């Protein structure tokens, strides 16, 4: 019962389909995820695998005409799928905060940054103007902005990328949301700034005990910050486990290939990076039957794949799609064979 109380977000059988020339295609296909209090859940995968689609579905920001969302996204007792827009406006920014990828474009160029943070407070709190101003200053201090009073009156173009991302974070945490969704929060930033922003996110999470969904393609970021990891490929989750298991004992061929293609600073032999053959299929051309990753590991016999791959719980809390992991080995790199099995 106590465990159940800690669950902030329970996503079950989520399908998000986009309309392309008249037909709907699932960009997120049967997603099951839970986010608990005090937890950073990382969703990892290549571009176009459906990570941001999940974020957009949770917060209800998608083109309603050309998108079909089915399944359940339970925020505590409340189902966010198909939720009335007026009700959703009370949740967005208040219970769920969102941090976006590109701080250069995610702030209104014509508004002072302080006012953009205060706008969130205006819609979700009873504060008057002075109180809002004071709270923005407090938030600017919290996200580590120098000279917060001066910063309040600045326009986005007067701030560096890192500072703008701090403003975006201040917007997201202004109302102390229980859930923070960070969609590639560091991708557009310099490496040194990236580390600062990640530290800041961890600080915020420790202080507020909120749950954070961290969407990224950067495994380094995952290793550094996440507690739980969901690896996605072509719209599906293909492996789910805690961060230690994912990095120490990865099973799915895709997870292993991803890890293998990560540069190792201390490994001189790994000068040649592993490259995963092929690309993620486009939404229209995505195989809807069989193992979607099979086409990119053609040296694995077809018999190794399940005809309808499902998630198998191989250890408590460690789920992997398809049984092909049992027979997977890297091509032309026999030395690494068996690393995961």
Smallest separation, CB 189 to another protein (Å): 15
The answer to whether 102 contacts another protein (rule: CB under 8 A) is yes
Look-up of token digits 């064979």: 337
The answer to whether 46 contacts another protein (rule: CB under 8 A) is no
Smallest separation, CB 337 to another protein (Å): 44
Smallest separation, CB 279 to another protein (Å): 25
Query: Is the Cβ of residue 94 or residue 228 nearer to another protein in the bound state?
Result: 94
Both tokens assigned to 58:
């949770």
d(CA 221, CA 205): 15
Residues near another protein (CB under 8 A), total: 31
Indicate left, alpha or beta for 254 from its phi (over 0: left) and psi (-120 to 50: alpha): alpha
Smallest separation, CB 99 to another protein (Å): 9
Whether 92 contacts 99, CB under 8 Å: no
Smallest separation, CB 27 to another protein (Å): 17
Determine how many CB atoms are found less than 10 A away from the CB of residue 7: 16
Site track 121-140 with another protein (rule: CB under 8 A), x = hit: --xx----------------
Closest of 236, 214, 193 to residue 99, by C-alpha: 214
What is the phi/psi pair of residue 129, to 5°?
-60, -45
Smallest separation, CB 43 to another protein (Å): 17
Footprint of another protein on residues 169-208 (CB under 8 A)?
Answer: 171-172
Smallest separation, CB 229 to another protein (Å): 24
d(CA 92, CA 227): 24
Query: Is the Cβ of residue 88 or residue 247 nearer to another protein in the bound state?
Result: 88
The region of 104-112, 131-139, 229-237, 316-324 touching another protein under the rule CB under 8 A is 104-112
Q: Which of 66, 70, 79, 108 binds another protein (CB under 8 A)?
A: 108
d(CA 14, CA 102): 26
The answer to whether 84 contacts another protein (rule: CB under 8 A) is no
Q: Which of 84, 86, 128, 130 binds another protein (CB under 8 A)?
A: 86
Residues making up the chain, counted from first to last: 341
Look-up of token digits 């290939």: 257
The answer to whether 155 contacts another protein (rule: CB under 8 A) is yes
Both tokens assigned to 155:
């326009």
Q: Which of 98, 170, 182, 215 binds another protein (CB under 8 A)?
A: 98
Binding site for another protein (CB under 8 A): 59, 61, 85-86, 88-94, 97-98, 100, 102, 105-110, 116, 119-120, 123-124, 155, 157, 168, 171-172
């Amino acid at each position: 019962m106590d465990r159940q109380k800690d669950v902030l977000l329970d996503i079950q059988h989520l399908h998000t389909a986009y309309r392309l020339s008249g037909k709907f295609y699932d960009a997120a296909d049967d997603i099951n995820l839970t986010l608990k209090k005090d937890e950073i859940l990382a969703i990892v995968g290549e571009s176009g695998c459906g990570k941001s689609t999940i974020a957009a579905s949770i917060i209800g920001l998608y083109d309603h005409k050309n998108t079909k969302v089915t399944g359940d996204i339970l925020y505590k007792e409340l189902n966010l799928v198909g939720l009335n827009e007026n009700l959703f406006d009370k949740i967005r920014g208040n219970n769920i905060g969102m941090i976006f990828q590109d701080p250069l474009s995610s702030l209104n160029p014509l508004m002072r940054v302080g006012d953009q943070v205060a706008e969130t407070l205006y819609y979700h709190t009873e504060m008057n103007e002075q109180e809002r101003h004071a709270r923005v200053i407090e938030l600017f201090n919290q996200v580590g902005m120098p000279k917060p009073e001066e910063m309040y009156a600045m326009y986005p173009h007067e701030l560096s990328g890192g500072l703008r991302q701090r403003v975006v974070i201040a917007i997201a945490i202004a109302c102390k949301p229980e859930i923070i969704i960070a969609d590639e929060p560091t991708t557009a930033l310099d490496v040194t700034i990236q580390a600062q922003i990640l530290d800041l996110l961890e600080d915020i999470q420790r202080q507020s005990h909120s749950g954070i969904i961290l969407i990224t393609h950067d495994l380094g970021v995952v290793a550094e910050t996440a507690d739980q990891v969901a690896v996605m490929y072509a719209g599906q989750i293909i492996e789910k486990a805690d961060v230690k298991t994912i990095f120490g004992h990865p099973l799915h061929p895709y997870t292993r290939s991803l890890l293998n293609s990560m540069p190792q600073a201390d490994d001189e032999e790994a000068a040649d990076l592993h490259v995963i053959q092929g690309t993620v299929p486009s939404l229209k051309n995505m195989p809807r039957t069989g193992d979607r990753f099979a086409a990119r590991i053609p040296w694995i016999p077809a018999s190794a794949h399940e005809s309808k791959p499902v998630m198998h719980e191989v250890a408590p809390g460690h789920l992997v799609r398809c049984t092909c992991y049992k027979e997977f080995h890297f091509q032309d790199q026999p030395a690494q064979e068996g690393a995961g099995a």
